[in-house]
C-alpha cells in the first residue's frame, strides 16, 4: 500500500511539473519543445544551440549555408541572448550575420543589439554600433522631419530587451563624440518628453564638445539651462566647461563684475556662471522662463540670495514693470539685504527709458551719497537720456566725470551726446571731449566723425571738415556715402569746387554711387561759378544714373 501511494505521488508530481513547465518554459524548452509549429523559431533555436556550443564563424557558415536568414529569425536569436550573461553571444551573432548576409542589418537589429550590450555594460561595443548607425543615417539625422528616427527605434525596442536608461546616455554621448551636437540636444529634449533623464556625465560630454566648437556660444547656454531645469546639478567638471565658455566669449570679467557690484565681495565662479545664464535669458526677453530657472538655482543653493533679488528686479524692469520692480526692491531691503550699485544702475536706466531724467539724476546723487560707486552703465544711461531731453550741460558733465573715473562711454551714448552738441552748434565742446577720450583709448566710429563733419559743415568750416576726413582715413575708417555727401556739400557751399570734384571721383573709385543730392549741389555750385560746361556734364551723368 505504501509503495502504491509513493508511485501515485511520483506520477502526480511529474504531471504537475510538466504543466508548470508548459506555463513557464525554460530557455531549453523554449528552444526545443515549443518550436514544432514555428519554422522560424526552430531555425532560431538551432542557431542559439550552435552559438552556445561555441561554433566559430566558419563552422556556422558551413552549417547554415542554405538557411534563409530573414528579419524574424535574426530578431529571435538576438532576443534569446538578451540577458547580460549572454550579451557577447548576441554581439557575435550580430557580426556573423553582417559578414554573411548580403542584405545587411536593419535598424531594428542594431537597436536590439545596442540595448543588449548597454544593459550588459559592454560600453565600447555599444558605442561602436551607435556611432555606426549615426554615421549610416547621417542624412536622416540632418533632416529635421526624421530627426528622431533612430531614437524612436530604440524606444520601440526598449521593453522587449528589458533595457535600461543608460542606453540613451550612450546615444547622446555618441552624437556628441561625432560633433552632431544640435541633433544631440534635440534628442536630449525629446527623450525628456518621453520620460528619460540623462546623466550628468552625458550633459558634461555634450557641453564640452559644444564649448570646443566655433559656433556653439548660444547652444551651450541652452543645454546648460535645460540641465538645471531638469534638476541635474552641475559639478566641478561642468563649472570648468562653463567658465571656459565665458572666457572664450570674453565675458567672464563682465559677470564677475556684476556679482561684485551686487554682493560687494568675492564669490565662487559658479555664482558668476549661473548669473550669466539667468542674465542672458532675461536679456533675451525670456522673462518667465528665466525666473523659473532663477528659482531652481536658488532652491539648489547655486545662486546667492541678494544676487537673486537683484536679477528679479532686472527682470521686472526688462518687462517695463517699474512699480513691480520697486516692490521687489523694497522686499529685498526688508529681508535685510543692502542696496547695491547694480540695482541703482538698473533703476536709473529704467527712469531714463521712461524719460524721467530728473528722477534718474536724483537717484544718481542718492547712490553716491550711500557710498555706492557708479560704473560705465550708470553713466551711459544718464549721458544718453540727458542728451535726448536737451540737458546737454549735464550730459557733457557726466561724460567728463566718467572719463576722470577711468571709464569710457559706449559708442551709442557718446554719439548721442556729440550729435546733439553738434546740432546745437557746440562744436568746440564736441571736438574737445572727443580729443580727451581718444587720448584715453576711446575709438570713435564713422557716426562720430559724421556728426562733427555735419556740424562744421553747417558753419562752412571746410578746413575742419577735411581734417576730420583725413583722420578717418588715418584710422582706417572707410568714409561711407553720408560722409562724402556732407563733405562735398560743404566744399560746394565754400566754393571749393576742384576739391569737390576730386572727392566725387574718389567716391566713384570706391564704388559709391553719388546721390541726386550730391549732383544737385555740384551742378548748382558750378553754375553759380560760371562753369556751365562742367554743370552740363554733371547733369548728363545724373540723368544717366536716374535712367
**Burial tier of 491 (Cβ tally within 10 Å: 0-12, 13-18, 19+):** buried
DSSP codes of every residue in 184-204: HHHHHHHHHHTT-PPPHHHHH
CB of 93 within 8 A of CB of 85?
no
pLDDT tens per residue across span 449-498: 999 999 999 999 999 999 999 999 999 999 999 999 999 999 999 999 99
Query: DSSP letter at 537?
Result: H
Closest by Cα among 161, 52, 183 to 117: 161
Which CATH number fits the domain 339-442, given the four candidates 3.40.50.2300, 1.25.40.10, 1.20.140.10, 3.30.70.580?
1.25.40.10
Closest by Cα among 175, 76, 77, 166 to 118: 166
447, three cell numbers: 557716426
State how far the Cα of 309 lies from the Cα of 306, in Å rounded to an integer. 5
Say yes or no to pLDDT of 20 above 50: no
**Burial tier of 250 (Cβ tally within 10 Å: 0-12, 13-18, 19+):** exposed
Residue 291 CB neighbours (<10 A) = 18
Higher-confidence position of 269 and 466 = 466
Q: Give me the pLDDT at residue 336, please.
A: 93
Q: Give me the pLDDT at residue 35, please.
A: 40
State how far the Cα of 428 lies from the Cα of 205, in Å rounded to an integer. 58
477, three cell numbers: 575708417
Q: Is the dihedral of CA 446, 449, 451, 453 positive or negative?
A: negative
Greatest mean pLDDT among 47-51, 168-172, 251-255 lies in 168-172
State how far the Cα of 125 lies from the Cα of 128, in Å rounded to an integer. 5
373, three cell numbers: 560707486
pLDDT tens per residue across span 162-217: 999 999 999 999 999 999 999 999 999 999 999 999 999 999 999 999 999 988 88
Residue 184 CB neighbours (<10 A) = 27
- What is the average pLDDT across 206-230? 93
250, three cell numbers: 570674453
Long-range contacts of 445-449 (CB under 8 A, 24+ apart): 445/411, 445/415, 445/477, 446/472, 446/477, 446/478, 446/479, 446/480, 446/482, 446/483, 447/411, 447/415, 447/419, 448/411, 448/414, 448/415, 448/418, 449/477, 449/479, 449/483
Query: DSSP letter at 213?
Result: S
State how far the Cα of 497 lies from the Cα of 501, in Å rounded to an integer. 6
Domain ranges, ordered by start, for the chain: 68-198, 213-333, 339-442
How confident is the prediction for the chain on average, in pLDDT? 88
Residue 547 CB neighbours (<10 A) = 5
Distances (CA, A) of 48 to 38, 41, 138, 165, 294: 15, 10, 33, 27, 56
State how far the Cα of 78 lies from the Cα of 93, in Å rounded to an integer. 8
State how far the Cα of 308 lies from the Cα of 297, in Å rounded to an integer. 9
pLDDT tens per residue across span 341-371: 999 999 999 999 999 999 999 999 999 999 9
DSSP codes of every residue in 156-173: HTTTTTT--THHHHHHHH
State how far the Cα of 152 lies from the Cα of 391, in Å rounded to an integer. 64
Say yes or no to pLDDT of 309 above 60: yes
Amino acid at each position: 500500500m505504501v509503495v502504491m501511494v509513493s508511485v501515485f505521488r511520483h506520477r502526480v508530481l511529474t504531471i504537475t511539473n510538466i504543466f508548470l513547465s508548459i506555463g513557464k518554459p525554460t530557455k531549453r524548452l523554449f528552444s526545443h519543445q515549443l518550436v514544432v509549429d514555428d519554422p522560424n523559431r526552430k531555425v532560431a533555436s538551432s542557431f542559439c544551440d550552435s552559438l552556445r556550443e561555441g561554433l566559430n564563424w566558419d563552422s556556422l557558415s558551413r552549417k547554415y549555408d542554405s538557411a534563409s536568414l530573414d528579419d524574424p529569425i535574426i530578431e529571435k536569436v538576438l532576443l534569446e541572448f538578451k540577458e547580460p550573461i549572454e550579451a557577447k553571444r548576441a554581439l557575435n551573432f550580430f557580426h556573423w550575420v553582417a559578414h554573411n548576409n548580403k542584405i545587411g542589418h536593419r535598424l531594428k537589429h542594431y537597436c536590439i543589439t545596442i540595448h543588449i550590450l548597454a544593459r550588459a555594460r559592454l560600453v565600447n561595443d555599444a558605442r561602436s554600433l551607435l556611432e555606426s548607425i549615426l554615421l549610416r543615417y547621417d542624412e536622416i539625422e540632418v533632416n529635421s522631419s526624421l530627426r528622431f528616427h533612430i531614437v524612436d527605434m530604440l524606444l520601440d525596442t526598449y521593453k522587449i530587451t528589458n533595457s535600461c536608461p543608460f542606453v540613451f546616455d550612450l546615444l547622446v554621448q555618441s552624437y556628441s563624440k561625432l560633433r552632431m551636437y544640435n541633433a544631440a540636444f534635440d534628442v536630449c529634449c525629446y527623450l525628456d518628453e518621453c520620460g528619460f533623464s540623462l546623466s550628468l556625465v552625458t550633459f558634461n560630454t555634450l557641453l564640452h564638445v559644444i564649448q570646443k566648437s566655433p559656433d556653439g556660444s548660444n547652444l551651450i547656454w541652452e543645454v546648460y539651462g535645460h540641465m538645471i531645469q531638469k534638476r541635474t546639478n552641475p559639478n566641478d567638471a561642468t563649472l570648468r566647461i562653463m567658465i571656459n565658455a565665458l572666457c572664450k566669449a570674453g565675458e567672464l570679467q563682465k559677470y564677475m563684475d556684476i556679482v561684485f557690484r551686487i554682493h560687494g565681495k568675492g564669490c565662487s565662479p559658479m555664482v558668476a556662471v549661473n548669473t550669466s545664464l539667468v542674465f542672458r535669458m532675461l536679456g533675451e526677453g525670456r522673462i518667465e522662463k528665466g525666473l523659473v530657472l532663477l528659482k531652481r538655482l536658488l532652491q539648489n543653493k547655486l545662486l546667492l540670495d541678494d544676487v537673486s533679488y537683484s536679477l528679479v528686479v532686472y527682470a521686472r524692469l526688462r518687462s517695463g514693470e517699474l512699480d513691480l520692480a520697486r516692490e521687489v526692491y523694497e522686499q529685498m531691503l526688508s529681508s535685510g539685504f543692502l542696496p547695491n550699485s547694480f540695482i541703482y544702475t538698473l533703476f536709473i536706466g529704467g527712469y531714463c527709458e521712461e524719460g524721467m531724467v530728473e528722477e534718474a539724476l536724483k537717484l544718481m546723487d542718492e547712490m553716491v551719497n550711500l557710498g555706492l560707486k557708479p560704473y560705465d552703465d550708470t553713466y551711459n544711461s544718464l549721458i544718453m537720456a540727458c542728451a535726448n531731453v536737451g540737458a546737454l550741460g549735464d550730459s557733457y558733465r557726466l561724460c567728463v566725470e566718467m572719463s576722470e573715473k577711468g571709464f569710457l562711454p559706449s559708442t551709442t551714448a557718446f554719439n548721442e551726446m556729440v550729435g546733439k552738441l553738434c546740432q546745437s552748434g557746440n562744436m568746440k565742446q564736441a571736438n574737445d571731449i572727443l580729443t580727451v577720450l581718444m587720448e584715453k583709448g576711446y575709438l570713435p566710429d564713422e557716426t562720430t566723425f559724421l556728426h562733427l563733419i555735419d556740424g562744421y559743415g553747417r558753419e562752412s568750416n571746410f578746413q575742419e571738415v577735411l581734417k576730420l576726413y583725413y583722420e578717418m582715413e588715418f584710422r582706417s575708417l572707410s568714409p561711407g556715402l553720408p560722409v562724402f555727401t556732407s563733405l562735398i556739400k560743404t566744399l560746394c557751399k565754400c566754393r571749393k569746387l576742384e576739391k569737390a570734384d576730386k572727392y566725387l571721383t574718389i567716391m566713384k573709385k570706391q564704388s559709391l554711387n553719388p546721390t541726386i543730392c550730391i549732383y544737385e549741389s555740384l551742378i548748382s555750385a558750378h553754375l553759380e561759378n560760371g562753369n556751365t560746361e562742367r554743370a552740363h556734364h554733371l547733369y548728363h551723368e545724373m540723368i544717366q544714373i536716374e535712367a
